[in-house]
Amino acid sequence: MGSRAPMTSLPATQAFVERTVEVRPTNARIDHAALAHNLGRVLDHVGPSCRVLAVVKADAYGHGAIDAARTFAAHGAWGMAVSLVEEGVELREGGIHAPVVVLGGVVPGSQDVIVHRQLTPVVWSREHLTMLAGAVERAGARPLPVHLKIDTGMSRLGALPHQLAPLIDWF
């Protein structure tokens, strides 16, 4: 697995995490060694020229976002992906220093938190870029990395092909 930390680097007490969900009588046993192993398989498959972004949105699909993110970061994930700014804040407050990409975009009013918490938003409009540039200027912060989201046909979020050139020119 290259230079990644061996799976045995997790303390034995963190190898498994028991979580009980109070809404329903559900108990999940999260095997962090398996998470690390699976990430290692992905990293081996894509090779060293690719970065892997571990998706931990929705509390890592109920598996515990902070613990999962710690495991992924310790075993070679480049960064984490979340849906909402609030989820990114939770990761930062949980000590996650890896890049955190917010897939849900820039909601008006969220730009100052994005800059302050050093989150990486996806953008698909000039409005997003303008809001973020204003927040960076107000904070006196360094330039903020962003991911350009392109609508590839699902008609959800993202710039359409004819909107790309003006967005790229903005940079």
CATH classification at residue 107: 3.20.20.10
Residue 13 falls inside a structural domain: no
76 within domain boundaries? yes
pLDDT score of 8 more than 90: no
pLDDT at 169: 87
β-strands 16-21, 26-31: how paired? antiparallel
Nearest one of 108, 116, 109 to 100, comparing CA atoms: 116
Query: Cβ atoms within 10 A of the Cβ of 163, count?
Result: 15
Residue-wise pLDDT for 66-104, tens only, equals 999 999 999 999 999 999 999 999 999 999 999 999 999
Helices (H) and strands (E) counted in the chain, each on its own, are 7, 7
Residue 82: CB atoms within 10 Å: 25
Question: Could you report the per-residue pLDDT of 120-165, keeping only the tens digit for each?
Answer: 999 999 999 999 999 999 999 999 999 999 998 888 889 998 999 9
The residue count for the chain: 171
The pLDDT of residue 9 is above 70? no
Task: Specify the DSSP class assigned to residue 163.
Answer: G
Which residues, 6 or more positions from 121, have their beta carbon under 8 angstroms from its beta carbon?
Answer: 101, 102, 105, 106, 114, 128, 132, 144, 146, 147
Residue type, position 78, single letter: W
* Residue range of the domain that includes 104: 51-170
Closest alpha carbon to 132 in 154, 153, 110, 163? 110
Residue 30 maps to a domain: no
pLDDT number for residue 7 = 46
Amino acid 153: pLDDT: 86
Q: What angle do CA 164, 116, 126 make, to 5 degrees?
A: 20
Instruction: State the total domains in the chain.
Output: 1
* Residue 140 is assigned to a structural domain of this protein: yes
Residue 46 located in a structural domain? no
